[in-house]
Structure 1
Amino acid sequence: MSLSQVEAQSVTWQSDRNVLKNLKPFLMHILQFICGLILPLLVLCIWEIAARRQWLPEQILPAPQLVWSTSLELWQSGDLQSNFIISSKRIIYSVLLGSTIGLTLGIWFALSKSAQQYILPSIQLLTRFPIIGWIPLLMIFLGIDEALKIVAISLAVISPVLIATFKGIQHVPQHLLEVASVYQFSKWQTFNKVILPASLPAVISGLRQGIMQAWLALVFVELLASSEGIGYLMVWGRQLMQMDIIYMGIILIGLTGFFLDSILAAIERFTRFYSTRTRGV
């Protein structure tokens, strides 16, 4: 074998190796996706077998096909979309309100020593109360209308956003603040160009937790006091003894939560990459 042939084979081998190296992350994502489907498919198979062999009465455990056909009927009638949109609006309004309050308080506590000493302990005490503990008091002042739902869900968002913002700003590397001091940045420039980019991943992480808490609180509030929304559909199914509607609601809640968390996780990874690049610069 000549030297040129050896060099050609070496180049081909190196090219194939680079292709495999570039494909490795993609193949790993596919493998993770396939592994993630194993448990849901296994549960679905067990569910189908249990329904066919009538391990439980049909009134308690309806067949997957019945749940699917019920979902299609609710979709065609427009009930599923309208209730889902109502729940989505509640989430949006609550997250906007709760995250605004959480961000504001988190920044204030992180930048003000006096606020940390005199006000933060009281806020931490209040955030320890579960949402269910606030419902009776909120009903007295707000009734059972839309304001109750928005405020109750917002309370679930405030705590994780506040804590994540506070800790994110507190853990900004000291050398970055020293560089800002050397360049004689103003307080606004220091916050905008140093503190905000460095703490952004922590803030997004807190917002991610807040949105997931809001989604869980939404279902609870709608189950408790609502005449519209996904939670109300489940209550309606219970009143009619139609378990297929309840199972449909459970699956829809789970899928929506999964997709929400996946999107927020991707945003969080991007912000961490952005923060790393900013620190490197």
Structure 2
Amino acid sequence: MTLTVSADPPAERQFTRLLPALADITYGISLPLALLLAWGFSSRFGWLPEQILPAPDVVWTTVVELSRDGSLAEHTLQSLRRVAIGFAIGATLGLVAGAALGLLPRVRAFICPVFTAIAQVNMLAWLPLLVLYVGIDEELKYVSIAWSTTIPVILATTRSIADVSPKLVELGRVLDFTPLQRVSTIVLPAALPSLFTGLREGLAAAWQNLVIVELFASFEGLGYLMTWGRQLFQLELVIVAMLVIAAIGLLLNTTLQYLERFVQPWKTEDAHGR
């Protein structure tokens, strides 16, 4: 008697693999769709005045008009340039300083209490002092964005390196690894998840601080667009700027998540193996 094992067709297997991704996408868009529907019903039935919450079609018309005259792209690119420069500076400084604090316990014990206390002060409290030192031009934007980025990156980097298991470090010594080999082979792979968490938090802080600093002193950018809309009592401009900031922030965060998976292929393999 011959037993025949029937294999699933390739198309069916591919569809089965796509089901979890489709489910995640469905869950991900369900809440935004529900909020959009609630927004539409609120506008249609007059639950909230248009002065408080403009109708979705008014916001969409504003998006189209700002896109046609190029002002939306101009403000967005200006804000992106500021965030890119500030985040690059802050992330670099944060990774270097965090690595030094994580790898050198005595330095960490000496600096961390003061740094932790400084980190508790909100960026808004530092702005008057920064204005005195760097003025209100572009340097203020770069410095404030870099500072807001540096803090979460330093904290996450320090914590991730300091929390690496001493047994793993001792294993490197037993295997006669050099200090550089121990860092690159043992410490860095173990610390990568927390490092990327710190980078994502730093990027979110950079976007939030961008709006603050552009509200404070700027004549272009998405934060300025929000200020201009508030002064003109055109809340649709404010909502458009908020939507663009949220969409770009989500896109950048998703990019960092995919980059994290790329540099940590073992995590993807473990997920597939479960």
Question: TM-score, structure 2 length as denominator?
Answer: 0.89
What residue ranges of structure 2 are gaps of 5+ in the alignment? 270-274
Given the alignment, which residue of 12, 20, 40 partners 2:32?
Answer: 40
Matched, 1:60 2:52: yes
How far apart, in 2, do the equivalents of 1:217 and 1:89 lie? 14
Matched, 1:175 2:164: no
Shift of 1:204: 1.4
How far apart, in 2, do the equivalents of 1:232 and 1:244 lie? 14
Decide which moves more: 227-236 or 34-43.
34-43
Contact persistence 1:200–1:275 (CA under 8 A): no
Matched, 1:128 2:114: no
How far apart, in 2, do the equivalents of 1:228 and 1:108 lie? 37
Shift of 1:21: 6.5
Q: SS of the counterpart of 1:75?
A: helix
Shift of 1:145: 1.0
| One-letter code aligned to 2:85 | Y
How far apart, in 2, do the equivalents of 1:43 and 1:128 lie? 34
How far apart, in 2, do the equivalents of 1:109 and 1:188 lie? 16
How far apart, in 2, do the equivalents of 1:34 and 1:275 lie? 24
Given the alignment, which residue of 168, 192, 201 partners 1:209?
Answer: 201
What residue ranges of structure 1 are gaps of 5+ in the alignment? none
Matched, 1:103 2:95: yes
Q: SS of the counterpart of 2:8?
A: helix
Contact persistence 1:201–1:271 (CA under 8 A): no
Contact persistence 1:67–1:245 (CA under 8 A): yes
Given the alignment, which residue of 22, 25, 30 partners 1:30?
Answer: 22
Q: SS of the counterpart of 2:205?
A: helix
Give the aligned length. 269
Matches within 5 A, 1:1-281: 3-4=1-2, 7-8=3-4, 11-12=5-6, 15-16=7-8, 23-274=15-266
Contact persistence 1:149–1:221 (CA under 8 A): yes
The one-character-per-residue Cα deviations of 1:163-208 (angstroms, maximum 9, x if unpaired) are 1111111122333323321332222222223222222222111111
How far apart, in 1, do the equivalents of 2:197 and 2:48 lie? 42
The equivalent of 2:272 in structure 1 is none
Shift of 1:18: 8.9
**Cα RMSD between the aligned structures?**
2.2
Shift of 1:134: 0.8
- Of all paired residues, the percent bearing the same amino acid is 36
| One-letter code aligned to 1:209 | E
Q: SS of the counterpart of 1:58?
A: coil
Decide which moves more: 223-232 or 171-180.
171-180
Shift of 1:269: 3.5
Q: 1:162 to 1:276 in 2, by over 3 A?
A: farther
The one-character-per-residue Cα deviations of 1:212-261 (angstroms, maximum 9, x if unpaired) are 11111111211222111111111111122212111111211222222222
Contact persistence 2:214–2:222 (CA under 8 A): yes
How far apart, in 2, do the equivalents of 1:269 and 1:165 lie? 18
Decide which moves more: 18-27 or 108-117.
18-27
Question: TM-score, structure 1 length as denominator?
Answer: 0.87
